[in-house]
Structure 1
Amino acid sequence: MTSRFTELAIDCSDPATLARFWCAVLDYEVLEAEDGLVTIGPPVAESPAGPVPPVLTFAPVPEAKTVKNRVHLDVHPTDRDQDEEVRRLLSLGARPADVGQGAGGTGGADGPSWVVLADPEGNEFCVLAGRRP
């Protein structure tokens, strides 16, 4: 028997606000909200018959983020190119982040094929130019 990745827990100062941001990014919905915890995931009516994507649970903590994440999310656009998706995420409240990725963090022959952004609480994530096979 093995384990299956089903949930990612994210410490934050404002679970409801961060959950709304990630719902908009991933087209998720709030599945549960109680005792300060907020869990989001794919809409229940649209859950696939195959492997289920992990849910994200946001938990309040008193301390602020102070260093670069050791684990981060990678997302890739499904219906637009990377530049359009980056603009959409910036309009939702993300901001550019520099984690040493090089010139602007954009793809192409001279740089990586991802753009590093931070969510409203400063958690870094990458927007990929293409999906890994």
Structure 2
Amino acid sequence: MSNKGIHSKLLILFSLLLTLLFVYTAVGKLIDLDTFQWRLARMPYISSFTSLISWGLPFLELVIAGLLWLPRYQIIALYGSLFLLASFTLYIALVLRYSDSIPCSCGGVISALGWTDHILLNVFFMTLSLLGILWSKKRYNIETH
């Protein structure tokens, strides 16, 4: 099997894993929206944006999950995944470094993770996004030349 075939199958796997992550987290937030908003309101630095984040974040997660399956927009979704995960990881790092209170706004299984585990999980998914971007660009360059 060529690298192109392997990369294509891995890109499908990465898209599936990212979709599962984003749909799971978005649905969890929307199902228990009151709790998610309450937790966001307690978060340092972003509490004044609770309403915007509580609706915008799940919407963005679902949009990214959907775009991952549209070949024309897949690379945009991979960039969106990387940006969203990197932003959240940076936020966690800043809160851990500069804040005394660190409430978790996560739900479900992810809320059972400690902060270090949460960062490692995000780094894992950022790596999938980055590899997906690189392989998508490589595939695009091969197809256009």
Same fold (TM over 0.5): no
Which structure has more helix as a fraction of its residues?
2
Larger RCO of the pair (alpha carbons < 8 Å, separation 6+): 2
Which structure has more strand as a fraction of its residues?
1
TM norm structure 1: 0.34
TM norm structure 2: 0.32
Larger Rg belongs to: 2
